[in-house]
Structure 1
Amino acid sequence: MRLAMNLKVDGHSPIPIRRQLTEQLRHVIEAGGVPRDQALPSIRELAGFLGVNPNTVARVIDDLKQSGYVEARRGKGVFVAPAPPARPSPHLREGFLQDTVIRAAALGMTADDLSVGVLSLAGIRPAAIRGAVEVLLVECSPPELDF
């Protein structure tokens, strides 16, 4: 049985591929895109389809196992857990995000300000978004140059 999963990764995104894929698979499972107790495509199939390293996909599957979304069955593959963990519904999350965007706009924040702030709080370097390079400035006067 082939599953219709609309998974995409963006190699140019500041969000690591592993994180992108983990969140997309969580969403697909939560939304019922893969029925409970249904086998996922193999690591090799997913890696080939997405054009990513199989080791990355294997780590994603390990993350999903540890968080209770999938389970490995020896000799049979990886299956969606019979009862995946509960998270707020996609509608609740979308409502939260809409409220956040509205509140940020009321504070005069642009979409860029908001995205940089969120990524920064999530531990992703905002400099990567702008393609900037971190630079350290050191004050130095002519007498110190001879030191």
Structure 2
Amino acid sequence: MTDNNNSRKTLYRNKRNGKIAGVCAGIADYFNLETWLVRVAVVSIFLLGGSAVMVVAYVALWMILDETPRDFDSEYREVGIKKKVWQAGEPATQALRDLNQRFTGLETKLRDLETYVTSEQFELKRQINNL
């Protein structure tokens, strides 16, 4: 997984994975951390005396940050493999299992397509269209 200079990450609110406004989930996505870890850090700072700062910062980020675009998290996203507990992503065994399921699904679609293209019905339609 290499980062290109052209592809810069943008900080968004992730409402789909968020509990209130998606601010913590967005920060976790941006820094490639587990969402629960960011939430624990925010609550810890809140309880250890930074309540006013955390409330103001959370509300400010809620107002400033845009929501994650719909096409941002497509079906064919890059699979992130978790190397350390606090990193976001999937354990290697789960990532391999998911990739295996994706390839199995693609193979099934390819077989169906090949069966249709080599069928007599397809050849007949093609000849009729050429008339």
TM range (shorter): under 0.3
Q: Structure 2-normalised TM-score?
A: 0.27
Query: Who wins on radius of gyration, i.e. which is larger?
Result: 2
Structure-1-length-normalised TM-score: 0.25
Q: Which has the higher strand share?
A: 1
